[in-house]
Amino acid sequence: MTTPNAAHSGTVSIAKDLTVNRLGFGAMRITGEGIWGGPKDPAECKRVLHRLLDLNVNFIDTADAYGPEISENLIAEALHPYPKGLVIATKGGLTRQGPNKWAPVARAEYLRQCVEMSLRRLKVERIDLYQLHRFDPKVPVEESLGELKKMQEEGKIRHIGLSETTVADVQRARKIVSVASVQNKYNITDRAYEDVVEYCEKNKIVFIPWFPLAAGELTRPGGVLDKIAHAHKATTSQVAIAWLLRRSPVMLPIPGTSKVRHLEENVATAELKLSEAEWQSLEDAAKKAA
């Protein structure tokens, strides 16, 4: 059996100077239920992280809120000292009060603490991509991003990204910092941020879709996704990731998992190429479902 290879998905450039393979890894799932506490099988999660390197996955996305702290700590335990070319992106600005509970706090002094602690947990001197996890309605974004810009100038952050933002948010942010990436919920059945994808593509900003696997009507047995999956001897999840890769050259999907088998299945999507007819049938079905 051929080893899956993320390099076959092509590459994308973050802010023109960090080139990564277009199939990344989202490290939210290497935590407990509700993204709270440690995972049920820490050893398997570490095997997943080690396996990433074998599969040429060289972009890992995490956040201090995953666990909290658990995901960043596991990444460092498993992979530090990091191999050359591995890009680890993290996020700050969301606090945790329990399983599935998240509250934005993006005051300048809090974000500075977030960055300092992520640097310590990840055991790095500079974070390649640091993303503001959420805009805080109680804090002017100029304050939040202004502090991240200061830390960028201090050499603690290489590039700055955003998460869960509108086109207007991105435009406002770009008056303060150079925005390298936008991470929003987006998949074949959830297209609420279609205009953000188009804006990112036009402005050469990397778009990182979280929750990249489709859900709902489109995934039912006998549906279009299912038929295309059968034709390629693939899963519907693999077709959904393949759709994302084809959707835009700035797309950087980050399917996550806590199982090696599932990781290999996700990365194998790099070999799955949709024909024009398959692409169109998926688009038509998605429009009907919407």
Q: How many CB atoms lie within 10 A of CB 49?
A: 23
59, 175, 93, 79: CA torsion to nearest 10: 20
Residue with tokens 């023109």: 16
Two structure tokens written together for 177: 């910092």
Considering only CA atoms, which of 262, 254, 212 is closest in space to residue 58?
254
Sign (positive or negative) of CA dihedral 102, 199, 249, 233: positive
131 close to 181: Cβ distance less than 8 angstroms: yes
Task: Report the distance separating Cα 256 and Cα 259, nearest Å.
Answer: 9
Q: Report whether the peptide linkage leading into residue 81 is cis, meaning its omega lies within 30 degrees of zero.
A: yes
- Helices vs strands, H then E, count in the chain: 10, 11
Annotated active-site residue 130? The verdict is: no
Residue type, 114: C
* Residues facing 162 on adjacent strands: 132, 182
Element of type H or E holding 152: helix 141-153
In the chain, % helix, strand, coil (3-state, to 5) comes to 40, 20, 40
Query: b/e for 225-246, b at 16 or more Cβ within 10 A?
Result: bbbbbeebebbbbbbbbbbbbb
Residue with tokens 């092509």: 10
Enzyme catalytic residues: 66
